Structure 1
Amino acid sequence: MRSRRPRISFHGAAIFTDLGTDVRQPIARIEADPFIVRGDRVRGFVFDVATGRLCETL
């Protein structure tokens, strides 16, 4: 059986203008999810390709 690669479409792809906001928004959705235990810490990071640094988004 031959495996098929998924077709990747960049049509409608998101453009990240503010990386901090783009990370904080999904964090807020995850924290609001009723299946996430209250008190668990949800963290987000941005990887800077140019410097190789990983920065936590607060």
Structure 2
Amino acid sequence: MRDHREHRDEVRGSPHFFLPDGSDVHNPGIGLRWEGDPGAGHPVVGDDDPGAYDALVRRALA
């Protein structure tokens, strides 16, 4: 988390996918929220869509 906080303006996170159509998707299927102080909090998964990766593959093949 310390590395993330130090570089949060530079890095969106992992996974980060770049598609052939020029678009990109960060953390597909996962919705996050932060709890605690902005500089010392932690992420909490609020949404999880396991079909997001299938949708990305279909989109990349289109």
TM-score by length of 1: 0.28
TM-score by length of 2: 0.27
**Structure ID, larger Rg:** 1
Considering fraction of residues, name the structure with more strand.
Answer: 2
Q: Taking CA–CA contacts closer than 8 Å with sequence separation of 6 or more, which of the two structures ends up with the larger relative contact order?
A: 1
